Amino acid sequence: MTRDITRRSMLKTTAAIGAASALPMIPFAAEAGDDIIVGGLHDLSGFIDFAGIPMNQIMLMAIEEINAAGGLLGKKLKGAVYDPQTKMPLYSQFATQLALKDKASVVMGGITSASRETIRPILHRYKTLYFYNTLYEGGVCDRNEISLGTTPAQTVEKLVPYSMGLWGKKVYTIAADYNYGQITAAWVKRYVEQNGGEVVSTDFFPLDVTNFGPTISKIQSAKPDMVMSVLVGTGHLGFYNQWAAAGMKNEIPIASTTFGAAGAELEILKPEVANGILTCYGYYPSIDSPANKEWVAKVNKRYPDKTPLLSELSAFTWEGMMIWADAVRSAGSLDRMKLIEVMESGKTYDMPSGQCAIDPLTHHAIRDVYIADLQDKTYIIKKKFSQVQPADTQLVCNLKETPNANKHYEISLE
Amino acid sequence: MDYSLVVAIELLREVAGLILIATGLAVIFGMMRVINIAHGEFMMLGGYTVVLTTKWGVNIWVAILILAPLVVGVFGILVERLIIRHLYGRIIDSLLATWGLSLFLIGFVTVAFGNTVEGVSTPFSSFSVGRYSIAIYTLFLIFAAIAFITSVYLTLRYTKSGLIARATMQNPDMVESLGINSKLVYMATFGIGAAFAGLAGGLLAPISGVVPGMGALLIGKAFITVVTGGAAVVAGTLSASAILGSVSQAVTFATGPVFGDATLLFVALILLRLLPQGITGRIFTRSV
């Protein structure tokens, strides 16, 4: 234990570690020139890169597609892609850079609510139009942001009565212990009670919990007709494995508005663990419509290797690009307010996910949602609901009355 | 009656879980005074070994019980040769170096195998206790923890190599003068600690799912257990796991996992205030 370290051996060791950890992930920034700059802020590394990489791939695909059709206003689009690495200081740095240095016309991105609330006020302040394309807990009220992802009121409202009709009225909720989980669990309770059912218990789990033994025993003793899972993240994956290992998979069914949202659970869990879980989202790759089949084929053609996982997140990123491009064409301008006015005009867009419109009062999507049953890594769509309103955000936000709002409301159902 | 049996099994399972994740760390930290921040990533490597080799057609038990400890043990020896041996006696430097190693391993595994690989499903089925059903794998984990502790105890207490290892940790210069190469002892000890981490990761892989960041979920509890346990590897790990695991799990049953985790930290805090050297710094001081 008294061995000295020589300068050379120290240098060698640290150089080896340094060289090996410098991963080739250098963000490339576009110079503002004649091109129209489209900013992309998705986590391309870090613990949610499985969500960010497909979103970025699809955004770049949309840029190529718009350019191939002649660009916008006679100009080409150019992507300015940064990797915030799931780190909030990088998010704020890159958002500022996109607004001030790159002079981006529009910014797509932000995945977690934390990252959205980091960049949303920055882009609001610098008047740079912002599209947030991820499902989240609802409540953003900001005329500068278009939120395309589903919110709990859109998915929970449909999934709860549907699954209660299949399985019964006694529901046990297990949820992640942060605002998304808390808010969604409150919506579950509301809709279960509205449908004449009962939530026998709601258990919350910090994101780093990996052992679900006690909960599984508690669920067994409560004997619910179904379990509603709002579990989030890789720590919580353990629940599904332990549930199947305890032999519960064929005893009590599970429904979820979070399972497989970005596709990771689908990849990591074996089919014998995940089969039969009922989910509800605004997009599934198996949607049986010509628009979706064409789009899926396009994605496969563009990315024959490393085909991105298609989920709400990636599909809505493409839709965000198309809605924005349509607004630029109709307005004949890149002026932010003119684009916002076009998008607030109540237009309905035909998209791979179905029909989608922007609610002028909340800037959230009014969209079709689907319920699907997972079997062997494929979603079998059971039911479609047309034009579902973002009823949760509509409770707290009215951009006609308060056009300068710049806030994320925590929607309370107490 | 059924319920109390279920609670008892789950308490044992939590204690066993702490023993599994802490034993490797206790060997490395308790015996060598090296703070291995990459311990969680060693467990992650064990998990990946199981997931990847079973995908290539290896029998799951061979993967868990042989390949995971073997691969991570060999990797541990490499790490000891390349990094740790330069840092003995420099506790802060070794902490920083292994932290760097931990970040590197997370990044490397993410780039090499991706953030999502298909896991393995849990072997065995379940059995019923009245109206409850419990995974047989839970019992298997409890037996694995007993085997961990027993094997470390028997090795340290009754074998010549155990004696040499203990002597080297107490006084390396004296051991050297008796003709034993202490560097080899350090290397082997680190390798064995790493192998325990790999085995723990392999055992947990079927129930927790395997992702590059899984180490971070385990390392905190492992450290708290080892520090609360104190210097003696076996008695320390065993007593700390028993106290922390059963109290936190009992609270989890009564109120939920938030208070369960908080109670674990709270009990560790009180124990360390009363026994700053860990449990075995004051009690069971003559044990191994």
The CATH number of residue A208's host domain is 3.40.50.2300
- Is the Cβ–Cβ distance between B261 and B247 less than 8 Å? no
Per the structure, the count of domains in chain A is 2
Closest Cβ opposite residue A13 in set B83, B249, B257 = B83
The rounded mean pLDDT for chain B is: 90
If asked whether residues A245 and A305 sit together in one domain, one would say no
Residue A382 in any domain: the answer is no
If asked whether residues A257 and A329 sit together in one domain, one would say no
Q: Is residue A7 over pLDDT 60?
A: no
Residue A292 in any domain: the answer is yes
Instruction: Write down the pLDDT at residue A1.
Output: 41
What is the number of alpha carbons within 13 Å of residue B24 lying toward its C-beta?
A: 31
If asked whether residues A166 and A103 sit together in one domain, one would say no
Closest Cβ opposite residue B86 in set A10, A223, A251 = A10
If asked whether residues A186 and A222 sit together in one domain, one would say yes
Residue A81 in any domain: the answer is yes
| Whole-angstrom distance, CA of residue B225 vs CA of residue B22 | 7
Q: What is the pLDDT of residues A361-403, one digit of tens each?
A: 999 999 999 999 999 989 999 999 999 999 999 999 999 999 9
CB pairs under 8 A between A and B: 160
If asked whether residues A167 and A274 sit together in one domain, one would say yes
Q: Do B209 and A218 touch (CB under 8 A)?
A: no
If asked whether residues A298 and A400 sit together in one domain, one would say yes
Q: What is the pLDDT of residues A167-221, one digit of tens each?
A: 999 999 999 988 888 889 999 999 999 999 999 999 999 888 888 989 999 999 8
Strand order in the sheet with A77-82: A77-82, A36-41, A106-109, A129-132, A145-147
Give, in degrees to the nearest 5, the angle at Cα A54 between B101 and B202: 40
User: In 3-state terms, what secondary structure has residue A71?
Assistant: coil
- Complex ipTM value: 0.85
- Is the Cβ–Cβ distance between B168 and B162 less than 8 Å? no
Instruction: Write down the pLDDT at residue A6.
Output: 53
Q: How confident is the model at residue B159 (pLDDT cuts 50, 70, 90)?
A: very high
Q: How confident is the model at residue A33 (pLDDT cuts 50, 70, 90)?
A: low
Residue A356 in any domain: the answer is yes
Residue A379 in any domain: the answer is no
If asked whether residues A145 and A176 sit together in one domain, one would say no
If asked whether residues A238 and A327 sit together in one domain, one would say no
| Whole-angstrom distance, CA of residue B79 vs CA of residue B100 | 12
If asked whether residues A100 and A203 sit together in one domain, one would say no
Domain ranges of chain B: 2-115+127-211
Q: What is the pLDDT of residues B50-59, one digit of tens each?
A: 999 998 999 9
> Quick one: three-class SS letters along chain B?
CHHHHHHHHHHHHHHHHHHHHHHHHHHHHHHHCCCCCCHHHHHHHHHHHHHHHHHCCCCHHHHHHHHHHHHHHHHHHHHHHHCHHHHCCCHHHHHHHHHHHHHHHHHHHHHHHCCCCCCCCCCCCEEEECCEEEEHHHHHHHHHHHHHHHHHHHHHHHCHHHHHHHHHHHCHHHHHHCCCCHHHHHHHHHHHHHHHHHHHHHHHHHHHCCCCCHHHHHHHHHHHHHHHHCCCHHHHHHHHHHHHHHHHHHHHHHHCHHHHHHHHHHHHHHHHHHCCCCHHHHCCCCCC
Q: Measure CA B256 to chain center.
A: 25
Query: Judged by CB atoms within 8 Å, which residues 144-183 of A form the interface with B?
Result: 177
Residue A375 in any domain: the answer is no
Judged by a CB distance cut-off of 8 A, whether residue A264 touches chain B is: yes
Q: Do B261 and A214 touch (CB under 8 A)?
A: no
Q: Do B206 and A215 touch (CB under 8 A)?
A: no
Distance from CA of B155 to the nearest CA of A (A): 23
Instruction: Write down the pLDDT at residue A8.
Output: 53
Residue at a domain's end among A258, A281, A304: A281
Residue at a domain's end among A259, A281, A303: A281
If asked whether residues A133 and A164 sit together in one domain, one would say no
Residue at a domain's end among A227, A262, A281: A281
When comparing pLDDT for B45 and A5, which is higher? B45
Residue A145 in any domain: the answer is yes
Closest Cβ opposite residue A234 in set B114, B132, B214 = B214
Distance from CA of A211 to the nearest CA of B (A): 8
If asked whether residues A142 and A192 sit together in one domain, one would say no
Closest Cβ opposite residue B82 in set A13, A218, A238 = A13
Average pLDDT over residues B153-177: 90
Q: Do A220 and B132 touch (CB under 8 A)?
A: yes
If asked whether residues A130 and A177 sit together in one domain, one would say no
Judged by a CB distance cut-off of 8 A, whether residue A203 touches chain B is: yes
What is the number of alpha carbons within 13 Å of residue A63 lying toward its C-beta?
A: 22
Judged by a CB distance cut-off of 8 A, whether residue A269 touches chain B is: yes
| Whole-angstrom distance, CA of residue A59 vs CA of residue A103 | 18
Q: What is the pLDDT of residues B113-127, one digit of tens each?
A: 877 777 888 888 888
Instruction: Write down the pLDDT at residue B121.
Output: 80
Domain containing A349: what range?
36-150+286-368+388-408
